[in-house]
Amino acid sequence: MGRSATISSSEISKLAHFPHFGEPDTESILSARREIYVGGASFTAAPLFLDISSAINPHIFVFGMSGSGKSYLLKSLIVRMAMFSNYRVVLIDFTGEYSGFSDDAGGERVSVRTAVRAWRRRRGLFYLDLSGLAEAERSIAAAKVLESISEQMRRNGVAQEPSTFIVLDEAWKVLLKCDVLETMIRESRKYGVGLVLASQIIGDIDEKFLANIATIFVFRTHDAAGLGRLGAAYSMDDGAMRQIKELDVGGCMFLQLRKDSQRQCFVIGRVMGVKRYCAIVLNCGGDMEMSFEEREIAEMARHAGVGEDATKALLARIKESGAYSLQRLLADLVGIGADRGRMLEALRRMRITDEQIADAFSAAVAGMV
């Protein structure tokens, strides 16, 4: 299922520092049950299927700075879990960011009152949008839903395999003020319920939680303190820590603690999302692609002084095109009157390099002459 890879002498000299030796072999890939495809391994290019049933628990944590591919993977996991792997997925959204995504993915909208009742009926994606509540009420409502699910899972009894995943992106941190999240991390695995949590900073998660999460995806980050904690928890050497800081956009370190007492640790060259649902992908020159959330492109345009109607029209053109380049984006922004200085500031915050911006801008200007 994999493809051959050509390795240069300089790469061979570095192999001792790279944790690629934990990559799964073909036999383990083919034997995975209810597997979820996430991408290709960096060293062998073998396809990686996330096998949750082989992990010591079903909990998943996704770390990475904005624009690194974190949300791209998270949305892909949600789609593949709910639509292709017959899991029940409860997506709790504090900000309304996932509203359009859930509708596109066929999610059923539920309320705080109906969430657990819907959850008992069948598998699929259930979307709970809490953005309409006052900020102080959102954590109360989310805690209430989690407590109800906890009660229901205990009534259902012990389960041999996971059947349900609860997804919380960033906003899970507000739930740390109550005991329900900690209780679920410690107890829910035996009832077949897993948590999928995401954050930009490794340090956001308490060590007692980190010790109870079996599967971790780490995208590019410069959170030195968080990487130190992660390295200590997973016995990772300095080479692995350095590699995380140098990951390309869309690449991540995969860590998993397995029931057979083995520890997997290797790099996924690029996660493969469901592009229709997950992200706007820009070609930034050559073979370099970067994925962004729609809101990131919108925020960049607004920062550059583009009006609301023009921003919506720009996003519509990007999504309709199917393939968009940084050069074309810059040309479109200049064409609708974006402030060039503020546009540069916003692009830098999106981790697009000055070299990429300069090359794309030069090409865009040349094309307009």
Q: Is the pLDDT of residue 259 over 80?
A: yes
**What 3-state DSSP class applies to 336?**
coil
Torsions phi, psi for 344 (to 5 deg): -60, -45
**Per-residue pLDDT band at 298 (split at 50, 70, 90):** confident
Percent residues over pLDDT 70 in the chain: 82
Write out pLDDT tens, residues 136-173.
Answer: 888 888 888 888 888 888 888 888 788 889 999 876 76
Nearest 5°: CA angle at 189, between 185 and 192? 135
Q: What is the residue-wise DSSP string for 54-75?
A: GBSSS-EEEE--TTSSHHHHHH
Diameter of the chain measured on Cα atoms? 70
**Other CB atoms closer than 10 Å to residue 182's CB: what's the count?**
15
Which pLDDT score is estimated for 121?
65
Write out pLDDT tens, residues 4-24.
Answer: 333 343 433 333 333 444 444
Please give the mean pLDDT across all residues of the chain: 78
**What 3-state DSSP class applies to 107?**
coil
> Residue 354 is encoded by which pair of tokens?
């000055």
Q: Give the full edge-to-edge strand order of the sheet including 324-325.
A: 289-292, 280-283, 324-325
Q: Is the pLDDT of residue 59 over 90?
A: yes
Are 255 and 219 spatial neighbours (Cβ–Cβ below 8 Å)? no
Which pLDDT score is estimated for 13?
35
| Residues of each domain in the chain carrying CATH 3.40.50.300 | 9-271
Which CATH code is given to the segment(s) 9-271?
3.40.50.300
Q: Which residues of 187-217 are buried (b: 16+ CB within 10 A; e: fewer)?
A: ebbebbbbbbbbbbebbbbeeebbebbbbbb
Distance CA 256, CA 213 (A): 9
Write out pLDDT tens, residues 168-194.
Answer: 987 676 666 667 888 888 888 888 899
* Torsion sign, CA atoms 347, 350, 353, 356: negative
Distance CA 130, CA 268 (A): 33
pTM for the full model? 0.69
- The residue-averaged pLDDT of 217-232 equals 81
Which pLDDT score is estimated for 5?
37
